[in-house]
Structure 1
Amino acid sequence: MSINRPVLKYNGGKFLLAPWITSFFPEHDTFVDGFGGAANVLLRKPRSRAEYYFDLDREVTNFMQVLGRKETAIELIRRIRWTPYAREVFEMSVSNPLEDPIDRALQFCAKCWMNMGQNRSSSGSFRTHGNLDKSGGYIPARLWTDLSPYYQAATRLRGVVIENRSFLEVASGLDRPNTLFFLDPPYLGSVRGSGDLYTHEMKLAIEHENLLNLILSLNGMVIICGYPSDLYATKLESQGWRMVTKPTRDNKRRERIEALWLNPLVQRKLAERDREPGRSRILTQDEIDSLLWYG
């Protein structure tokens, strides 16, 4: 079952990039989404034998847990259906957070879709003009009425372990050669900008160094997202990791270069896959650049 749009409007959601990202996923037994966020990559990939979703943000993990359980998912979708796209709904989601898990999930969903920006670390402002000029390429109030992604995501999330925990705490316990770790952490502040976009930020170089040191010690397959940086080049590419890139745009429509770093085990698995009869080969970065240059 394919999902036709994200369930959350979320910073760095990767919904449109997910097919490109998953094209670099080797065959694996266990899948770990270490910085799960809106779960767009997980939701758009084929199901693995075992799947794990982790995020430090209590609100987004609560939303995924509610959506991943049949009884609560049915009630959440019912409430979304009968909740208007309204300023009062948005303001209540910001100023009067509720404790009931389903209420909290509804409020978080409203905050994501009705927010002027994609900043989840502050209150933001109600999105109205997007309904007039379709800025961003969609009409928010109309999307709010489309319930199909919630049904699709609820079905896909069945069997996924969803936890409000740090990837750094759980990585070693899930580390196996047949485990694929997919990591999309908050990006390094020096390449992204100074604004806070997440409840739990990782703007400091030392935070990324700690993460990179951890993943360099793993035995499993690892793919990590980011913008190209000297830190990642020094820590990863010098250890045999391969960087692949794709032109894209950020949430302010500015041109960016999205990068994936593939650890040596991922590269070996992809090479083995590409040698199988009937398989199309993954192009090298030089070959990709050549195609882009010569059209």
Structure 2
Amino acid sequence: MMAKPIVPWVGGKRRLAKHILPMFPEHGCYVEPFAGGAALFFMKEQAETEVLNDINGDLVNLYRVVKHHLEEFVRQFKWALISRQIYAWLRDTPIETLTDIQRAARFYYLQKLAFGGKVSDQTFGTATTGKPRLNLLRIEEELSAAHLRLSRVFIEHLAWEECIRRYDRPHTLFYLDPPYWGTEGYGVAFGLEQYDLMAALAKSIEGRMVISVNDIPQMRAAFSGLNIDEVDINYTVGGGAKRKSAKELIIRNWFD
């Protein structure tokens, strides 16, 4: 059974997978410096060595707990309810008062039920056309494949550029899905200078790099000189019926 992302994440890449995955060259080491929901990681074939990295400490803690303590993690939800009030209580709970497993359960509950998969300024998501994303009776079943998939993965909590420098080898493939310029919901400031650094690293590293960003003039300027493909994508927010079309860029540091 193919594993699925553990939590929804703003800017997830499942819809772009059909464009990105065929571009991946052969590789012995696969690294996601901006793991987020890690949709492509869970969809692609397993590599010999794999690394998931993110600056969000709650997310990194969740991956580590699902990897090492799935049974105890599931036990945290034995008496849980899906409730706007409980959501508010958990959102306001200081993480310093929690164990790693309790912290992971709190983050999982909030992220599964958050509107639009937002990481910051979360609100309780509701809908009249579907069920809640969180099925309290099937958590272990839903996470068992992810638990197995993560069993041999290095889980890091580094700055994205440090992650690249640490794992750069000729046989390494980096997939970067940074916060999109001009968008919100990630909870992390990310200026234009970060994309300039990303482009510089793409041109200087030993390994291969694939980057996905929104198609705006600033991104085309930042990644000038690299291999740029333009793709169309339709998206919705919060499960709404109205779809919007957008263009995204898939950037590679090599030419076929």
Identity of aligned residues (%): 25
SS at match of 2:115: coil
Deviation at 1:180, TM superposition (A): 0.2
Q: Supply the distance in 1 between the matched residues of 2:135 and 2:230 (Cα, whole angstroms).
A: 33
Q: Supply the distance in 2 between the matched residues of 1:117 and 1:171 (Cα, whole angstroms).
A: 29
- Does the C-alpha gap of structure 1 residues 66 and 19 become closer, same or farther in structure 2, counting only changes over 3 Å? farther
Deviation at 1:182, TM superposition (A): 0.3
Aligned to 1:279: none
Aligned to 1:79: 76
Q: How many residues align?
A: 249
SS at match of 1:255: strand
User: Is the contact made by 2:113 and 2:124 (CA closer than 8 Å) also made in structure 1?
Assistant: yes
- Does the C-alpha gap of structure 1 residues 141 and 33 become closer, same or farther in structure 2, counting only changes over 3 Å? closer
Deviation at 1:88, TM superposition (A): 3.0
| Counterpart check, 1:201 vs 2:193 | no
SS at match of 1:182: strand
Give the partner amino acid of 1:185: P
Give me the TM-score of the superposition, normalised by structure 2: 0.88
More helix by share: 1
Deviation at 1:142, TM superposition (A): 6.0
Give me the TM-score of the superposition, normalised by structure 1: 0.77
Residue 124 of structure 2, aligned match among 126, 142, 164: 126
| Counterpart check, 1:246 vs 2:246 | no
5+ residue gaps, structure 1: 269-295
Q: Which has the larger radius of gyration?
A: 1
Superposed counterparts of 1:1-295, under 5 Å: 1-3=1-3, 5-69=4-68, 72-80=69-77, 82-98=79-95, 99-122=98-121, 124-128=122-126, 130=127, 133-134=128-129, 138-140=130-132, 143-147=135-139, 148-189=141-182, 192=183, 196-202=184-190, 204-236=191-223, 238-251=224-237, 253-264=243-254, 267-268=255-256
SS at match of 1:256: strand
Deviation at 1:141, TM superposition (A): 5.5
- Please list every run of at least 4 consecutive aligned residues from structure 1 whose deviation after the TM superposition is greater than 6 angstroms: none
Query: Which stretch shifts more, 101-110 or 143-152?
Result: 143-152
Deviation at 1:34, TM superposition (A): 0.8
User: Is the contact made by 1:6 and 1:15 (CA closer than 8 Å) also made in structure 2?
Assistant: no
